[in-house]
Amino acid sequence: MTEQNYRRSKLKTAYEECPIYGITGGSRDVVTLVKAMLEGGIRIIQYREKHKTPMIRYHEALALRQLTNLYGALLIIDDYVDLAIAVEADGVHIGQDDLPPTVVRRIVGNEMIIGWSTHKIEDIEAANRYADSIDYIGVGPIYATQTKPNVYPVGLAYVRYAAQHSVLPTVAIGGIKIHNASAVWAEQPTMICAVSEITEAEHMADVIEQLWCKTVLVL
C-alpha cells in the first residue's frame, strides 16, 4: 500500500465509523470537550484554537494526541503545520491563505493527512489539481455562522457541486444545525461539521446522534 493510500484509508475508516467531523471551540476546557466528542462517536477531531498562545496550543494538542490515540481517532491540527509535526498529529488542515498544499506536503511528508478549505468552484478545481497532495476538502460555509463571520455563505448548491465534481472526500461546514442537517446531507457530502451545535450542546452525545441519524433519512 502506498503512503497516499494508507493515509486515505485511515481517513475513510474514521468517517465511515462516524461521518461527523469534530472541531474544537467554545468556552469549555478543550480536553473535556474532545473527550465528550469521542465518547459521542466522533472519530475525526480538528484542533482549532487560534486565539491561544503557542505553548498552550502545544500542551493541549499533546493531550489531545494521547486522547485520540486512546479512542482510535484521528487528530487534525488547523493551520499550524509545525504544531502538527511536533505532536505527531494524523493531519493538518489549511486554508486558502495558508501555504500551498504542495509546499505543505513537502514539509509534513507523505504520511500526514492534509485537508484544504474551499469556498468557490475555482477552489474545487484547484483542489482536484492538488489531489496528489491533499486528502479531503472543506466545503463552506454553507450557512451564515459566527465561526466565520466575514465569509459569505456558499449555500447548498455548492455542496452539491462539490459532491459531484470533487475527486476528494468533502466536509460540509458552516451554520449546520440539527434542524437543517437533512438538507445538507441531501446534497451528499462525505461528512458534515456542526461546530457550535456540538461544542455548545448540553447533551453532546444526543446532538451527535441526531446529526448522524440525518444520514439515514436521506440516503
Cα angle for residues 209, 214, 219 (degrees, 5° grid): 135
- For 122-144, what is each residue's pLDDT tens digit? 999 999 999 999 999 999 999 98
Residue 168 has pLDDT above 70, yes or no: yes
pLDDT surpasses 50 at 51: yes
Report pLDDT for 209: 93
Of the candidates 7, 35, 43, 48, the residue annotated as catalytic is: 48
**Total-model pTM:** 0.94
In the set 7, 117, 166, 214, the catalytic residue is 117
DSSP state of 95: -
Task: Give the domain ranges of the chain.
Answer: 3-218
Q: 209 in helix, strand or coil?
A: helix
Kindly name the residue from 8, 12, 148, 177 that is annotated as catalytic.
Answer: 148
Where helices occur in the chain by DSSP H, the ranges are 3-17, 30-39, 54-71, 81-86, 101-108, 121-129, 156-165, 181-185, 195-199, 204-218
Is 133 labeled as catalytic in the residue annotation? no
Q: Is the dihedral of CA 15, 42, 64, 119 positive or negative?
A: positive
Task: Give the span between the Cα atoms of 22 and 137, in whole angstroms.
Answer: 14
> For the residues 54-76, what does the mean pLDDT come to?
98
- CATH topology for the 3-218 domain: TIM Barrel (3.20.20)
* 117 tagged catalytic: yes
Burial of 148 (0-12, 13-18, 19+ CB in 10 A): middle
Does the annotation count 9 as an active-site position? Answer: no
Mean pLDDT of 155-164: 97
Query: Helix or strand or coil: residue 88?
Result: coil
